[in-house]
C-alpha cells in the first residue's frame, strides 16, 4: 500500500501569520513592565507556543525573572499574580490581535498547492479560541483558511501535549498520525508533533525562534543572518524536528521526500 502524507497541521503566529510572532511578545514585556519587572525579548519568546497562561508561568520560573520579581515585590510570585498578569495579557492582546493576522509571504500559495494535491490543512495554537476567532476572521479576509482549527482551550492541555494534533486528526478524519505533518516555528511545536507521533518540521524565517521582522532579515548583514538562521535551526532540531526548512515554500517538495522515505523497502518510521 502506497503511503502518502495526508494532512499538514500548521501553527499560527510565527508560522502562517504574524511574521516574527510579535503580537504576544510585546504584550508579555508590557505586562511585566507594568509590575516593575523588565523582561528581555528572548525571555518573552523562550516559552512561545505554550498556552498563554502557561507561558506566563514559564517566564516567572526563569531564575533571573523570578529574582527580579522578588526584588521588586518583596516576595515570590503566586497564583494570584499569575492570574492578574494573564488578565492584563488578554486585555492588551485583544486590542491588537486583528493587526497581526497578515499571512506570512508564501503561506497562501503553499496551502493552495497542498490542498490541490489532496492534503488537508489543520492548525494548532497557543492562543485561546476567543483569540484565534479574531485572527482567523482577519486571515480569512486575506485568503488563509485552514480546514480545521484547534486551540489550547479546546483540549485538556496545550503544548507540548499532543491533544490538539489528535483533535485535528479527528476533525480532518485522517489517520494514522504517522502520515501527518506538524509544521511550526517553536520548540513546543516540535515537541507537540513528536508527542503526537507525526512528522515534525520547523520553519525558520518568520518564526519566533529567529525573531526578526521580514524587513530586518532583508537588511541584516549576510554573515550575521546566516549565523542566526543556523542557531534557530539547531534549536528546532534539538527540540525534536525531523526536518527544518528556512522558508515555507520548501514544504511541498519536502513532503514529496517524506512520501519517498515512507515507501522505501526499509521503511522509515516517524
In-domain check, residue 71? yes
Find the domain containing 94 and state its range: 23-99
Sheet holding 180-184, edge to edge: 120-123, 7-10, 180-184, 199-203, 243-245
141: annotated active-site residue: no
User: pLDDT class for 35, splitting at 50, 70, 90?
Assistant: very high
Coil, strand or helix at 130: helix
pLDDT of residue 268: 55
pLDDT of residue 266: 52
Instruction: Write the pLDDT tens digit of every residue in 58-111.
Output: 999 999 999 999 999 999 999 999 999 999 999 999 999 999 999 999 999 999
Cα(260)–Cα(201) distance, integer angstroms: 16
pLDDT of residue 33: 96
Residue 41 and residue 109 in one domain: no
- Among 177, 212, 219, CA closest to 194: 177
54 is in an annotated binding site: no
CATH of the domain at 28: 1.10.150.240
Cα(221)–Cα(59) distance, integer angstroms: 31
In-domain check, residue 93? yes
Active-site residue identified among 34, 42, 52, 171: 52
Cα(47)–Cα(56) distance, integer angstroms: 8
C-alpha cell at position 259: 512520501
Residue 38 and residue 159 in one domain: no
What are the helix (H) ranges across 202-249?
214-219, 222-238
pTM exceeding 0.95: no
264: annotated active-site residue: no
Residue 62 and residue 107 in one domain: no
98 is in an annotated binding site: no
Amino acid at each position: 500500500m502506497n503511503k502518502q502524507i495526508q494532512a499538514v497541521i500548521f501553527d499560527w503566529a510565527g508560522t502562517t501569520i504574524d511574521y516574527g510572532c510579535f503580537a504576544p511578545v510585546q504584550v508579555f514585556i508590557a505586562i511585566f513592565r507594568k509590575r516593575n519587572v523588565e523582561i528581555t525579548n528572548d525571555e518573552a519568546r523562550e516559552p512561545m507556543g505554550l498556552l498563554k497562561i502557561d507561558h506566563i508561568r514559564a517566564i516567572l520560573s526563569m531564575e533571573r525573572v523570578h529574582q527580579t520579581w522578588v526584588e521588586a515585590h518583596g516576595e515570590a510570585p503566586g497564583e494570584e499574580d499569575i492570574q492578574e498578569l494573564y488578565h492584563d495579557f488578554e486585555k492588551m492582546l485583544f486590542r491588537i490581535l486583528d493587526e497581526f493576522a497578515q499571512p506570512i509571504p508564501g503561506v497562501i500559495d503553499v496551502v493552495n498547492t497542498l490542498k490541490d494535491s489532496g492534503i488537508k490543512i489543520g492548525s494548532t495554537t497557543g492562543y485561546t479560541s476567543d483569540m484565534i476567532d479574531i485572527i482567523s476572521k482577519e486571515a480569512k479576509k486575506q485568503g488563509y483558511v485552514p480546514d480545521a482549527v484547534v486551540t489550547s482551550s479546546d483540549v485538556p492541555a496545550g503544548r507540548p501535549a499532543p491533544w490538539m494534533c489528535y483533535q485535528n486528526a479527528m476533525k480532518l478524519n485522517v489517520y494514522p498520525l504517522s502520515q501527518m505533518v506538524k509544521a511550526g516555528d517553536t520548540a513546543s511545536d516540535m515537541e507537540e508533533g513528536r508527542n503526537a507521533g507525526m512528522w515534525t518540521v520547523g520553519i525558520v524565517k518568520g518564526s519566533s525562534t529567529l525573531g526578526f521582522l521580514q524587513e530586518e532579515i532583508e537588511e541584516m548583514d549576510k554573515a550575521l543572518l546566516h549565523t542566526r538562521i543556523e542557531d534557530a535551526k539547531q534549536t528546532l532540531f534539538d527540540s525534536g524536528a525531523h526536518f527544518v526548512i528556512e522558508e515555507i515554500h520548501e514544504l511541498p517538495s519536502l513532503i514529496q521526500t517524506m512520501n519517498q522515505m515512507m515507501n522505501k523497502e526499509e521503511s522509515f518510521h516517524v
